[in-house]
Every structure is written in C-alpha cells, then in structure tokens.
Amino acid sequence: MKNISMLGLKVSKTEKFLIFFTGSTIGLIVSLLASNGPFTHFSENHVFALIKVILCILISSSILYFIASTVSQKLMNIVFLAFFLRIITVFFMSIFGILPYQYDNNWDLTASQLLPSWHAGNFYFDVGNGFEPYSILTTIIYFLLGENPIYMQLLNAFFGALTIYVIFLICLKLFNKRVAYLTSIIIALWPTYIFFISMQMRESLAIFFITLLIYFFINWLNDFKIKNLIGVLIALIFSALIREQNAVLVTLILFPFVIVHFWKNSNKYLKIFSVIFSFVGLIIAFLILNVSGYLSYLNLNYISEEMNYRTDGETAYLAWMNYSSIFDLIIYSPIRLIYFVYTPFPWQITDFQQAISFLESIVLIIMTFYILKNIKKIINYSLYKKGFFFLIAFCLLGLIANGLIDSNVGTAIRHKLQYLYLFIILFVAAWDYNKTKVLNEKTRYNSD
C-alpha cells in the first residue's frame, strides 16, 4: 500500500480493504484448485468449477456493495468484513476438510436423488420424505452450477452478510448509529455466526428471513404503510418455507401486537371493526396453517415427540422431562430456556467445537447480567419503545418455544442463532448509554 502512495495515488481505507479482500480471495481460490480436499472431490471439472466459484463471489460482492454503500462506507466495510470471514471459513472447509463440509447431508441426499430426473427433463420435487423447500433450493443450485456443496455455502455466506445490513437498520430504528455500527461489527466477528452460516445448512436463510420480518414489522408498527405489511407477509412465507415451525410461532407472536396496534391507532368508532378484522385475519391465517399442515406443530403430542426425538446423541440434556399437559410446558419452560440459551455447560462439552461454544456461553451469561443490571436504562435509551418491546417479546417467545423442544447441545447452538443478536443489541445499547453518560459528565465537569 505504501508503494501505491509513493506513486502519487491516494488510496482510501475502503479501497485498501477491497484490494486486500480481492487479493486474499484470489489466493484462496487458487488454493482450492491446488488442494486435494473436499472441493476437488465434489468437482468433475476443477477449472470450470473454480470459474463458477469466482462468478458467485463477484455477483455476491457486487450486490452487497450496492446495498450497503447506500448507507455508508463504514457499513459497507463491516458487511464486506463479514462476507470475507465467512468465505475464508467456506474455503477452509473446502481445502482442508478439517471442519464439516456437509454438516447435515440430508439436503444433499435429497438433491442427489432428484438431480438425475431433473437432468432428464423430469422435474418433480418429492422423493418420499415430503416437500422440503431448502432441499429444492439446493437441487436448483446444483442443477444450475453443479453438485458441489460450496455453491450453497457461498449463498449462505452472502445471506449471512446481508443479515448484518438488516440488523443495522433495526438498531438504527431503535437506538442510534453507534449502537448499530458496534452491533454489526460484533455479529460480523461472532464465531458461531461465522461457523454455522458458512455451512451447507438452512441456518443462514432462517436467520435472514426472521430478521427481515422483524425489520418490516417494526416499520409497520411505526408508519402503518402497506409496503411494510407486504414485506412482513413475504418474509413470513419464506421463513415458514425454510423452517416450518416458524409459520405458527411467528403468527402467534405477531397477532397480539396487531390487535393492540389497530386498537390504539383507530378512532373510537372503528376500534371494534379493527379488532373484528384482526380476528378474521387470524382465523384465515389458522385455516391456511391447518390446510398446509403447519398447525400440527401446536399439538402437545408433536411437541413431546419432537423433544424426545432430539434427546438422541451424546450431547442430549434434560432427557428425563416429559410433557403430559400444557401445565408441564409452563413449569419446565424456565429451566429449558436457560439450557437452550446458555448451553453448553462444562459437563456437556464433548469436542472442540463445543468447547468454543462454551466460551460463547460465558460471554452470553456476562451479557445477560449486564443487560439485566441496565434494563431500565436501555428502555429509556430506546428511540422507539413500541418497536423495542416487540423485538424483546418476539425473541424471548422464540427462545422459549425453541427451548421447549430442542434437547441437545448442537441443535440448541444452531437454533438460538435466530434470536442471539437480541443479546448483542441490548448489551451494546447498555454499554453505549453508560459510555455516553460518562462522557457527558466529563464534559459538564470540564465546562464548570
């Protein structure tokens, strides 16, 4: 970079980072071709596969650049940093095979069963295990680019970076730029976000669409515009397609806020009609959920069976619990919430990945105490109280619902990523409030 300056060319920090990003990516791409890792194992024509990888990265980088740069160069740098770290992780998996290349190969198994028929011109979507949208997406990507998990991993890395942009907008709406930027940086560097989003899994898309739904709903609560309501519906549909349980969960969480919002924002003559309209909408939504089969996720037998199913494996926890009534769900929810959020505990660690996750749990525990200590300050610091309380209620209910079912460490670590950024946002907001207060006191003291 000094040589560039000596030539009389002025290079900004952003340009330096982009040069570094490009050079490092090229080096990693060359390493893909030179290695004998999983990438070459899945590629028939290595050079052609490499060209497709380069195109995927270029297209993703261009989209991220145009979206993030509309806000600021600083946000663009953070988004690119997040994308770069996730790409490094993808390449690390692809070159060395040390980390899992296919964390859950069910998606690839379904795709491998469908692809021969697709290539023959017979496009069907069911291989006996029902319609799995993420498997279909995997099949489409493999049909277009080739049967190699790296293409789905790169897609997930892209949506993982794009999620940071959406979280930034949420923070900006609820707090200020300082909270938004610092939260974005922490999420960009958070190990489990990097690790799981870089895999061939549905976590990245699940997190993105849930976050997008929260963003549009907070905006809808604020201005009641139809475009935000459409955004909520689209995000809800895609969220339900990626993870079916979200369809019922999100509908139940949104409904009370819709009722209260209609009631408070209608004149006294229209209040009753607003409530009736909301209930009719809820009934229609539940009819759709019932016809599509999603309503079965509220069944106590399903919850109990799914919880017992997830106690399989060495990392199961609370396997002794059984649900025989709704009362059991209420009684057990606090301890299951604690396990779900803060697992793994020391006695649950069985491998290196869980040891790293244990360090994350320690950080989350520290964050939680700091948040609880400063919760009143955080509430007062929020610029938009209604959206703030919705975010807390949404994430808390989501954590409780998932905690009632998930019963092993690995699944809990992955599924809580949909709501983990709530802790980061609240922690950063509390820290920024205290820091700002100290600075103001120093300024006042110096002026006196």
Q: Residue 165: its pLDDT value, please?
A: 97
Q: Give this prediction's pTM.
A: 0.86
d(C-alpha 47, C-alpha 59), whole Å: 19
For residue 7, the model assigns a pLDDT of 47
pLDDT at 120: 83
Confirm if 104 and 201 have CB atoms less than 8 A apart: yes
List Cα–Cα distances, 399 to 333, 392, 404, 423, in angstroms.
10, 10, 9, 12
Extents of the domains making up the chain: 16-201, 299-448
Q: What is the DSSP string of 363-405?
A: HHHHHHHHHHHTHHHHHHH-S-HHHHHHHHHHHHHHHHHHHHH
How far is it, in rounded angstroms, from Cα 316 to Cα 78? Answer: 36
Question: What per-residue confidence (pLDDT) applies to 443?
Answer: 60
239 burial level (CB within 10 Å; 0-12, 13-18, 19+): buried
Q: How far apart are CA 153 and CA 393, in angstroms?
A: 31
As to burial, measured by CB atoms within 10 angstroms (0-12 exposed, 13-18 middle, 19+ buried), residue 17 is middle
Residues of the chain with pLDDT under 50: 1-7, 101, 103
Q: What is the pLDDT of residue 5?
A: 47
Q: Under the phi-then-psi rule, with left for phi > 0, alpha for psi from -120 to 50, and beta for the rest, what region is 318?
A: left
- Residue 131's pLDDT is what? 60
| DSSP result, 137-205 | HHHHHHHHH-S-HHHHHHHHHHHHHHHHHHHHHHHHHHS-HHHHHHHHHHHHH-HHHHHHHTSSSSHHH
Quick one: tokens of 331? 């009684």
Provide φ and ψ at 316, rounded to 5°: -70, 150
- In three-state secondary structure terms, 316 is strand
Query: 365: which 2 tokens?
Result: 């525990």
Q: Please give the Cα distance from 179 to 372 (Å, whole number).
A: 18
What's the confidence (pLDDT) of residue 294?
A: 66
- Burial (CB count within 10 angstroms: exposed 0-12, middle 13-18, buried 19+), residue 133: middle
pLDDT at site 112: 81
